[in-house]
Structure 1
Amino acid sequence: MSLETLEFETAPKPTRSVIVLHGLGDDGHGWAPITQELDLSPLGAVRFVLPHAPLQPVTINNGYVMRAWYDILGTDLARREDERGLRDSLQKLEALIAREKERGILASRIALVGFSQGCAMALLTGLRHGEGLAGIAGLSGYLPLAATTAAERSAANRDTPLFLAHGTEDPVVMHSRGVASRDALAALGYTIEWHEYPMPHSVSAEEIDDLNRWLLRVLAD
């Protein structure tokens, strides 16, 4: 099953793509206003692709059906992971990246951005993708399937810039979990731009400004 997407282009004939992955219970529409705050005009035409995660029951929410990239089995995000769900969404996102390349966008001009569950999927997918991407940004999330990252990561993306940001008052994905993910990736040799903000599980104007500057840099020729 392919993913439904919301898309918009800043001008005709885009040469770069930014794929934005929402969090649990949200959809692409939830990130459209934030994405439209980004000013990437110095790069020329950019296509923003905001996919909607599949609808599925989520265990931690009493089986309530909502949009989710994978099931959340409990509060311990490190020890109880829905590996099957994670890998299923990984394949769907690989197909989405392939479609962008089929539409003429080079892998080196594709950036992945994700929030919360979307952060997990951006890291899972981007680090394993077979061609070098422009960059991978993860907001208020964590590194999933961390124990397999070293063995499964792609050599093509070992030098891909990472942008990681987290709220110090996050009660959903604890700040310490974000820090642990940052440290695990640093130990594997990745170049990470780290930001933290005095906020809960949310997005701030300062964070969007920092992300904007990073995207301008990694998507530039």
Structure 2
Amino acid sequence: MAWEQFEHGWRRAPVSAPAKGLVVLMHGVGSNARDLMPLADIWSESLPDIAFTSLDGTDAFDGGFGGRQWFSLRDITEGNRAARVAAAYPALRERLDAELAHAQVSFGRLALVGFSQGSIMALHHIATSDEGAAGVVAYSGRLASPVTARNAAAITLIHGEDDEVIPVWELERAADAFNAAGYTVDAYALPGIGHTINADGVALGHEALERALGALSRG
């Protein structure tokens, strides 16, 4: 199916309506919804009854060059990051609610896919929302928020060992926190990979979505 643009990004409808599940993709800082759409083009081949939405960041990027962001990186520190993410979350939650309503599915049929800052927001949702999701795939991200909720989300963390933007040890820190809270976590540190998504990462994300939503698509 072809992508259709809407006010907050792009949507790709399933082969047949209504959708049996929804994947929401969230890009990194300074990018836009188009950045992760190629992933959905690949994954949708084996998930024909799943809808995809790639969202634009809720705010204009304040670092120049156009693009969008989920929260500002200006003067960000370890001390203020969690509060900044929490302040940005209500706008994202509003869009998630709207996309679920559009696809006519529940949080139990939702999967989130984020890259970098998009991963931070996706992990915040899982960590703080009782509704959660069926699954989340977080590329090159970090957990900036305390884990205060327990939901059924299966968490897949994928990170390059040579990431110079968000260090790979953030993968272990996030995995430890979610494991301690009782979540199911798969974590993959990819050797020789920087702050990007390579072919192995695409395949691992595909496998995670198949586990989370594949049965719905084939059911």
- Structure 1 length-normalised TM: 0.83
Cα 1:11–1:97 shift into 2, 3 Å: same
Tell me which amino acid in the other structure corresponds to 1:83: A
Any residues of structure 2 matched to 1:58-207 within 5 Å, and which? 58=62, 61=63, 66-74=67-75, 76=77, 78-81=78-81, 83-84=83-84, 86-103=85-102, 104-146=104-146, 149-150=147-148, 153=149, 155=150, 157=151, 159-198=152-191, 199-207=193-201
1-structure distance, mates of 2:196, 2:28: 10
* Matched positions, count: 207
Could you say what secondary structure the match of 2:43 adopts? coil
Q: In the alignment, does 2:6 pair up with 1:7?
A: no
Tell me which amino acid in the other structure corresponds to 2:93: E
- For 1:22, the equivalent position in structure 2 comes to 27
Could you say what secondary structure the match of 1:36 adopts? helix
Contact 1:73 1:80 in 2 (8 A): no
1-structure distance, mates of 2:61, 2:27: 17
2-structure distance, mates of 1:66, 1:28: 9
Cα 1:102–1:56 shift into 2, 3 Å: closer
Tell me which amino acid in the other structure corresponds to 1:106: S
Contact 1:94 1:129 in 2 (8 A): no
Deviation at 1:75, TM superposition (A): 7.1
1-structure distance, mates of 2:143, 2:116: 10
State the superposition RMSD in angstroms.
2.3
- For 1:45, the equivalent position in structure 2 comes to 49
Could you say what secondary structure the match of 2:157 adopts? strand
What are the Cα deviations for residues 12-62 of structure 1, in whole angstroms up to 9, with x where unaligned? 312210000000111111111222121453x4411111110134464xx5x
Deviation at 1:93, TM superposition (A): 2.1
* More moved, 15-24 vs 178-187: 178-187
Which blocks of at least 5 consecutive residues in structure 1 are unaligned? none
2-structure distance, mates of 1:32, 1:122: 17
- Structure 2 length-normalised TM: 0.84
1-structure distance, mates of 2:166, 2:127: 21
* More moved, 114-123 vs 190-199: 190-199
Deviation at 1:217, TM superposition (A): 1.0
Deviation at 1:132, TM superposition (A): 4.4
Tell me which amino acid in the other structure corresponds to 1:15: K
Contact 2:125 2:132 in 1 (8 A): no
- For 1:31, the equivalent position in structure 2 comes to 36
Tell me which amino acid in the other structure corresponds to 1:6: W
Deviation at 1:192, TM superposition (A): 0.3
